[in-house]
Amino acid sequence: MSETPPNIILHAADVHKNFGGLRALSDIDLQIEEGKTHAIIGPNGAGKSTLLNVIIGRIPPTSGAVVFDGTVLTGKAPYEINQLGISRVFQTPEIFPDLPVLHNVMAPAFARRDGAFRINMFRSVESEGEIRQEAEDMLNDIGLHGRREDHAGSLSRGDKRRLELAMCLIQRPRLLLLDEPTAGMSRHDTNSTIDLLRKIKSSGMTKVIIEHDMHVVFSLADRISVLAQGRIIASGLPQEIKEDPRVQEAYLGGSVE
């Protein structure tokens, strides 16, 4: 009996991006399988953030296209791409610093339910028991429940990142893009974030993760693609990538562990 072919939920096809004379991305062909965690690794300046920005519509590619579940994303505005079910956790957390932590998580849950943010949303917050409960459960999962009444701006950098992750997860995206989700976190917080990301794996959410920390990469990734100087030099299972001499070479002769 033949195996069912994997469902490719995202395909970046023949993507190129030039910044003036600089070729930030060349010949990118990246296929992301539905339900998997796909890590993109590579040295500084390899083009990882540029690739993520092309996927979410923040940067138009010079040529090529990105297709999500049969829909061409290229040319769409970031909010349209978000409405298709793609969320991204940024390197610099995008939160509402003057609002309580709990309301930060409730806001995107309202947006998911209503399709857009409503100006006076928080007037009806207390009556929105279901959403409040969902947000509280999410804060419990992410370890921030004890801080729910504090202003988000007062959180540590690592906690702000976890809050932003909660804000993305509560939208229940089909594809979650994580740009160095554990940067700035202590080892303890990094490990709890790994645990949380593992936990949501069972929900079937597809994740693309950019990460420098190899402990995080090898704890989470089902597949890894390696970018170097704007090109994908290797793509495969974690063990294959670990043993690939081209990857070792791209990391300046260091070992990938």
Ligand X SMILES: Nc1ncnc2c1ncn2[C@@H]1O[C@H](COP(=O)(O)OP(=O)(O)OP(=O)(O)O)[C@@H](O)[C@H]1O
Joined together, the tokens standing for residue 180 give 């160095």
Per CB under 6 A, 207 contacts ligand X:
no
Per CB under 6 A, 181 contacts ligand X:
no
Per-residue mark of binding to ligand X, 50-89 (x: CB under 6 A):
x---------------------------------------
For ligand X, which residue of 38, 48, 103, 207 counts as binding (CB under 6 A)? Answer: 48
Which stretch, 48-56, 63-71, 82-90, 137-145, contacts ligand X (CB under 6 A)?
48-56
| CA dihedral (22, 9, 168, 216) positive or negative | negative
Angstrom distance (rounded) from CA 56 to CA 74: 9
Angstrom distance (rounded) from CA 12 to CA 208: 13
For ligand X, which residue of 1, 4, 5, 44 counts as binding (CB under 6 A)? Answer: 44
Angstrom distance (rounded) from CA 138 to CA 145: 8
Contacts of 191 (CB under 8 A, 6+ apart): none
Between 19 and 117, name the residue whose CB sits nearer to ligand X.
19
For ligand X, which residue of 42, 57, 64, 238 counts as binding (CB under 6 A)? Answer: 42
Which stretch, 17-25, 28-36, 165-173, 218-226, contacts ligand X (CB under 6 A)?
17-25
Per CB under 6 A, 46 contacts ligand X:
yes
CA distances (Å), 80 to each of 75, 107, 174, in order?
10, 18, 14
Query: What is the SS3 assignment for 100?
Result: strand
Interface residues with ligand X (CB under 6 A) are: 19, 22, 24, 42, 44-50
